[in-house]
Amino acid sequence: MRKQFLNILTVVAISVALVGCKKAKEAETTTAEEVAETPSVATKYKVDTEASSITWKGYKPTGSHNGTIAVESGVINMKDDAIQSGTFLIDMNSIVVKDIPAEDEGNAKLAGHLKSPDFFDVEKYPSAAFSITEFKTVEGKSTLSGNLKMKDAENNITIPVTVTENGNTVSIKSETFTIDRSKWNVKYGSKSFFDDLGDKFINDEFELQVNIVGNKS
């Protein structure tokens, strides 16, 4: 009986571990597409940069780091409760590290490295941009597609989102998803570009979660 009980506990522990290790899905990524046009009767919402947020999380064999990036500006155009078009600018200079205490020198060191030419080269590419190409809802589940331009590369990504209209406000909240940084030429520590990294590599896939809030203008 005791052995049986221990076996049950083992199964439960393994199940919990598997659930806890479940990774976010990679966004469907293709070549850049034609940007969606705005109907003349669309309702325009200006992005509230203070209420909007982007969180990130990157992985390596020894652990992970996470933080935020600010939305610089943006516009969402709606018609009949559906997104028609829109563009968001992302302030790459605003990269913040959250998992290391702000007073720890490691915080500034990591943030500086992420902003350097090794990663996002924010001096040369201070902004990234997301331009909507399609929004659709199938069987109650919505996806948003758009061209993500980052550094010197541009690809189209499709992500699951929830869109909520509330009076003069609209919000677009994505599920947590991943993108492959190598497709935007972010090369440092990437096994897609270097063969001799051993266990010193950094995962190509990193997580993003986007929350955009717009106010009717």
| pLDDT single digits (tens) 67-78 | 999 999 999 999
DSSP string, 136-168: EEETTEEEEEEEEEETTEEEEEEEEEEEEEETT
Q: How far apart are CA 204 and CA 40, in angstroms?
A: 41
For residue 14, the model assigns a pLDDT of 40
pLDDT for the residue 17: 40
pLDDT of residue 1: 53
Other beta carbons within 10 angstroms of residue 107's beta carbon come to: 18
CATH topology of domain 24-216: Lipocalin (2.40.128)
d(CA 182, CA 39): 35
**Which pLDDT tens digits describe the chain residue by residue (217 residues)?**
544 544 444 444 444 343 444 578 999 999 999 999 998 889 999 999 999 999 999 999 999 999 999 999 999 999 988 999 999 999 999 999 999 999 999 999 999 999 999 999 999 999 999 999 999 999 999 999 999 999 999 999 999 999 999 989 999 999 999 999 999 999 999 999 999 999 999 999 999 999 999 999 8
Residue 120 has a CB neighbour count (10 Å cut-off) of 24
- Give the per-residue pLDDT at 22: 52
- Kindly list the domain boundaries of the chain, sorted by start residue: 24-216
Query: Can you tell me the distance from the alpha carbon of 210 to that of 54, in angstroms, rounded to the nearest whole number?
Result: 5
pLDDT of residue 193: 96
